[in-house]
Amino acid sequence: IVRLRVANHIELKRQRDFLLSLSQLDGMTGIANRRAFDTSLERLWHVHARQRLPLSLALIDVDHFKLFNDTYGHIAGDDCLKEIASTLAESLPRSQDMAARYGGEEFAVLMPDTHKAGALGVTKRLLERVRGRQIPHSQSPSGAHVSVSVGVASCVPASDGDPLDLVRCADGALYQSKDNGRDMITTLEMN
């Protein structure tokens, strides 16, 4: 009876762990999902505020993705997003960095213990690797291949601050990249 109970508890734990991992992954791309991103951002914000460490966030948007879907179809669009997600995940230099699907054709990269200069280096590599994939996009006003726009925000979190301020700052930088021609990186530091 004791062996059966132990076996049942082990199996239940394995199943719970499996369900937890499924709830944290984006079903299409296989990288972290928005729920995992939100949880990690909240946790990292408080840890970095206590330790007075820098935290950086990049928001990444696939340029003219609606035109891509309209031109090549939704299956090709899904394949494009999978390839971008894979490129982002493979390009992160440290295991503590996190690539997540933020929503639709937007991705987020959390970079703990990273100043603006380090985040800029990481995102330059990401941008170059996406360009290097040379995914055809014949209808893009930005060029013949799929490109991404990137907004980066960095700060040393304040214990009384709001992690969403970092997201807002990165989003503002992302919109500057889009407004200035796309296929580029804009960085901002939170005050």
Please, which pLDDT band fits residue 22 given cuts at 50, 70 and 90?
Answer: low
* CA gap 127, 122 in Å, rounded: 9
Residue-wise pLDDT for 97-117, tens only, equals 999 999 999 999 999 999 999
Q: Is 105 a catalytic residue?
A: yes
Q: Could you tell me whether strands 106-112 and 98-103 are parallel, antiparallel, or unpaired per DSSP bridges?
A: antiparallel
Sheet order of strands, 185-189 included: 98-103, 106-112, 55-62, 148-155, 185-189
Residue-wise pLDDT for 38-91, tens only, equals 999 999 999 999 999 999 999 999 999 999 999 999 999 999 999 999 999 999
* In the predicted structure, residue 23 carries a pLDDT above the cut 90: no
Please, which pLDDT band fits residue 186 given cuts at 50, 70 and 90?
Answer: very high
Query: Which residue in 11, 105, 106, 189 is the catalytic one?
Result: 105
* CA gap 156, 103 in Å, rounded: 26
Give the torsion sign (CA, 16, 21, 25, 27): negative
Average pLDDT taken over every residue of the chain: 94
Residue 191 confidence (pLDDT): 64
Give the torsion sign (CA, 92, 181, 152, 168): negative
